[in-house]
Chains A and B, each alone.
Chain A
């Protein structure tokens, strides 16, 4: 099956700094990428949806100036948490959908391994 990678897997940063998380589709072209946030023992919360080459669509309540999303190519999307605060500490997961092909079905969505962010 298709693979989505995230980097870094975990990051610890000081309050006020910015952190960039990369999400890559390794063996397929991702037409749409999704960024989720997950709190302990809770389900995934969609933050934003991005299509290659266009601006991300943010969910209600998600600050677009704080969580900058760039989907510059069909295999890479980045999430930058700007001026991070301790309340931004969370598990961030990206997911991708690709063009239907021999190995990818329409509607099929692949998830990255997640990035655990801790802001001190």
Chain B
């Protein structure tokens, strides 16, 4: 069992739809990251969370430390949101990030 699990693995949506990507983890963490990777490879850090909720534009990230669960929401999705979204956690002990397998999001016009 992976320490970080994302669902769904693949997600196809129509433009305008509300999207949720989930991340569950099994270790104690000091921070959780949501990353975006477009075709061509570059990774953009969207959020870093240790508690509560953060919002940036149409993106919202939440985390529930007790339940060891985080969600990334995209409101009014757009084809340019099509990318792989990766959840990564920094364990309480150690300096490395542990990555989920990623969620491939495709938003059709």
A110–B35 Cα distance when bound, in Å, is: 10
Instruction: Assess the A34–B96 pair: CB atoms within 8 A.
Output: yes
A85 contacts B by Cβ under 8 Å: no
Task: Count chain B residues whose beta carbon lies closer than 8 angstroms to a beta carbon of A.
Answer: 20
- Residues of chain B within 8 A (CB-CB) of A34 are 96-97
| Contacts between chains A and B (CB distance < 8 A), count | 51
A113 contacts B by Cβ under 8 Å: yes
A110–B44 Cα distance when bound, in Å, is: 8
B52 contacts A by Cβ under 8 Å: no
Among A43, A95, A97, A107, max chain B CB count under 10 A is at A43
Instruction: Assess the A91–B41 pair: CB atoms within 8 A.
Output: yes
Quote the shortest CB–CB distance from A72 to chain B (angstroms). Answer: 20
Given contact pairs A32-B95, A107-B30, A107-B31, A43 touches B100 in the complex (Cβ within 8 A) = yes
A39–B96 Cα distance when bound, in Å, is: 19
Given contact pairs A1-B45, A107-B30, a sample of 17 additional A-B residue pairs in the complex whose CB atoms are under 8 Å apart: A38-B41, A43-B99, A43-B100, A43-B101, A44-B86, A46-B97, A91-B41, A93-B43, A107-B31, A108-B45, A108-B48, A109-B45, A109-B90, A110-B45, A111-B43, A111-B44, A112-B43
